Amino acid sequence: MSFTPDHLAPHVPKIRAAGHCFIGYSGGLDSHVLLSALVKLLGGTSITAVHINHQLSKNARAWQQHCQSRCDEMGVAMVTETVTVENSGQGLEQAAREARYSVFETLLTPSDLMLLAHHADDQVETVLYRLLRGSGPKGLAGMPQNRSLGKGELLRPLLSFSRSELEQYARAEGLSWIEDESNQDISFDRNFLRNKVVPVIAERWPDYPSRVAHSAALCGESDQLAEVLAAQDLIAVYERHERIGWSIALEPMMALDVSRQGNLLRHWAGQHQLPQPGHRIVDTVLHELLPARQDAEPLVSWAGVQLRRFHRRLYLLPVDVDTPDQLPASLEWNTSEDIVLPDKSELLITTEQGRGLRLPEEGMVEIRFRGGGERCTPVGRNGSNTLKKLFQEYGLEPWLRNRVPLIYVQGQLAAVGDLWVCDSFSVTEGESGLAIQWRFPLSI
């Protein structure tokens, strides 16, 4: 099938309904065909091209100027962002992609649409690349035609067209485009697949794009079924929002078979927009963390996230949960106002009758953090005990114990976060007290 702008007509209602339509525009064949075709359909004033200068080629500035000239000719506004690509160990290709998508996410507001010009050959490369990386059904489903991106949505309207079909259209229209010299550098994995592997496959199986697309669609269906099952399993394990992160009950999780446990772990992280654990991480969780001794406190971490066990629950947490920035020795607190603590947790206050902390009319109120040896007699208990023992009785997670704000009145420990008030500082039934809530931001 030959490509024409009319093939984009099914996407026009979505584009018109968007708050604003952006197009990722590198100036290469694919993005130039998409931009010029949409200008024919919709005109140039309803579209904004987004050019990312990755600063990776000596020609980067010339490419930027080329893109600006093409946009000026078509009457299309263009936004240019220059990024610094930092290879953090996942390869230059992935680092450039992350920098690019970060810009896209920043630009999009609710109801905005970002169009990208990925085509059928890109989909083949993606599926092959993920296959060789050991991806499961989710990865082998390839690139979706549309998905959420930041606050907006991403759409790939050219996925059903091959590069040769797009090039045929471009030559017929007399279009000029950029040829990125790095596309021939086979030290990059995708370029190696494109230039060395796919041509050999094409000789033996000329219809390989449709074969790969069919397999990707089947993997997508399998992934959707796995998501449905995982959503049901997540209900069955009693997820709970914690002060930091989330937790699920271990007993019902352990009752699931191993494949469903792994499926649930990936789904759980994805539900909170966190990086999903790879198969090695999942294996470590299933075969080392979950079966560990009851008195053990094992943890498994990846990409800024960690899983930990405590009191028959499994916790999904930030990786630095128990190593916050240096906490000060003390802070003065004006108890007429809420306060944000150095670790970004908050103390929120209300006044309640017959409940809470009794404050003197005069005297300093300060917040301290554990130094060791603190004691308290919680309201309703006989005799004092150390905070270490009280935290164990209360069941406070170990990673929070050094972060609990200790409220001192006139130099004496008066309350421990919102866990308890020390007996000598509790209000009587007829008095007004300061009710405290210790809260962390919602996100990890």
- CA 262/CA 256 separation, integer angstroms: 10
d(CA 33, CA 166): 7
Q: What is the DSSP string of 44-67?
A: STTEEEEEEE-S-STTHHHHHHHH
Q: What would the two tokens of residue 415 be? A: 């309350």
Q: How far apart are CA 396 and CA 243, in angstroms?
A: 10
Taking the C-alpha atoms of residue 42 and residue 21, their distance in angstroms, rounded to an integer, is 11
Pick from 153, 150, 170, 152: which is nearest to 161 by CA? Answer: 170
Residue-level pLDDT at 141: 95
Q: What is the pLDDT of residue 1?
A: 66
Q: Where are the beta strands (DSSP E) in 60-176?
A: 77-82, 113-115, 146-149, 152-155
CA-to-CA distance for 135 and 222, rounded, in angstroms? 13
Query: Greatest CA span in the chain, whole angstroms?
Result: 90
> How would you write the pLDDT of the chain (444 residues) with one tens digit per residue?
689 999 999 999 999 999 999 999 999 999 999 999 999 999 989 899 999 999 988 999 999 999 999 999 999 999 999 999 887 767 888 889 999 999 999 999 999 999 999 999 999 999 999 999 888 899 999 999 999 999 999 999 999 999 999 999 999 999 999 998 888 889 889 999 999 999 999 999 999 999 999 999 999 999 999 999 999 999 999 999 999 999 999 999 999 999 999 999 999 999 998 999 988 999 999 999 999 887 788 899 998 899 999 999 999 999 888 766 678 888 888 888 899 998 888 999 888 888 888 877 766 789 999 888 899 989 888 888 899 999 999 999 999 999 999 999 988 999 999 999 998 888 888 788 888 999 998 666
Residue 216: predicted pLDDT: 95
CA torsion sign, 155 to 181 to 96 to 271? positive
* Residue showing tokens 């993606």: 126
* DSSP code string of 209-266: HHHHHHHHHHHHHHHHHHHHHHHHHHHHTT-EE-SSSEEEEHHHHHTS-HHHHHHHHH
- DSSP one-letter code for 195: I
pTM of the model: 0.81
Within a 13 Å sphere around the CA of 361, how many CA atoms are in the beta-carbon half? 0
Distance between CA atoms of residues 204 and 273, nearest Å: 41
SS3 at position 110? coil
Q: Which residues contact 288 (CB under 8 A, 6 or more apart)?
A: 298, 300
Asked whether the beta carbons of 208 and 120 are under 8 A apart, the reply is no
419 vs 415: CA distance, rounded Å: 8
Q: Which domains does the chain have, with CATH numbers?
A: 5-217 (3.40.50.620), 237-317 (1.20.59.20), 330-439 (no CATH)
- Residue where the block lists tokens 């085509």: 119
Question: What residues have CB less than 8 Å from 115, skipping those under 6 apart?
Answer: 15, 21, 22, 23, 24, 34, 38, 154, 155, 156, 157
CA angle 326/330/331 to nearest 5° reads 105
| Cβ neighbours around 77 below 10 Å, total | 14
Do 300 and 290 contact (CB within 8 A), yes or no?
no
User: 120-132 vs 208-236: helix axis angle to the nearest 10?
Assistant: 60
